[in-house]
Amino acid sequence: MKNTSNIRFRSNRVRDILALFHDELDALYGAAEVSVFGEMLFEAFLGWDKVRLLTSKEQTINQSDLLRFHWALEDLNHHRPIQHIIGHVDFCGCRINVSPDVLIPRPETEEMVKYIVGAYPSVRPQAKDVRGGTPLLDLCTGSGCISIALKKAFPSAEVTAVDVSPAALEMAQQNAKNNGVEVHWVEGDVLRWNPSGVHGGTPLRYDLVVSNPPYVMEKERAQMQRNVLDYDPALALFVPDDDPLRFYKAIADIAKEHLSDNGLLVVEINEALAEETAMLFRDRGLSPVIHDDFRGRHRWISATFQNNIQ
Which residues touch 36 (CB under 8 Å, ≥6 apart)? Answer: none
What residue ranges of the chain have pLDDT lower than 50?
1, 123-132, 198-201, 308-310
Report pLDDT for 130: 36
Strands (E), the chain: 88-91, 94-97, 135-139, 158-163, 184-187, 198-199, 202-203, 206-211, 216-217, 238-239, 259-268, 287-292, 298-304
What is the reported pTM? 0.90
Report pLDDT for 227: 84
Handedness of CA 205, 210, 212, 215 (dihedral sign): positive
Q: How would you classify the pairing of strands 88-91 and 198-199? A: unpaired
> CB neighbours (10 Å) of residue 263?
25
Contact by Cβ (8 Å): 171, 144: yes
Report pLDDT for 127: 45
What distance in Å separates the CA atoms of residue 255 and residue 81, rounded to the nearest whole number? 34
For the purposes of burial, counting CB atoms within 10 Å of the CB of 261, is it exposed (0-12), middle (13-18) or buried (19 or more)?
A: exposed
| Three-state SS at 78 | coil
Contact by Cβ (8 Å): 111, 294: yes
Q: Please report, as a single letter, which amino acid is at residue 35.
A: S
pLDDT in tens, 173-213: 999 999 999 999 999 999 987 776 544 445 688 999 999 99
Q: Angle of helix 14-29 relative to helix 63-77, nearest 10 degrees?
A: 10
pLDDT in tens, 209-250: 999 999 999 999 988 888 888 888 999 999 999 999 999 999
Q: Which residues pair with 51 in a beta bridge?
A: none
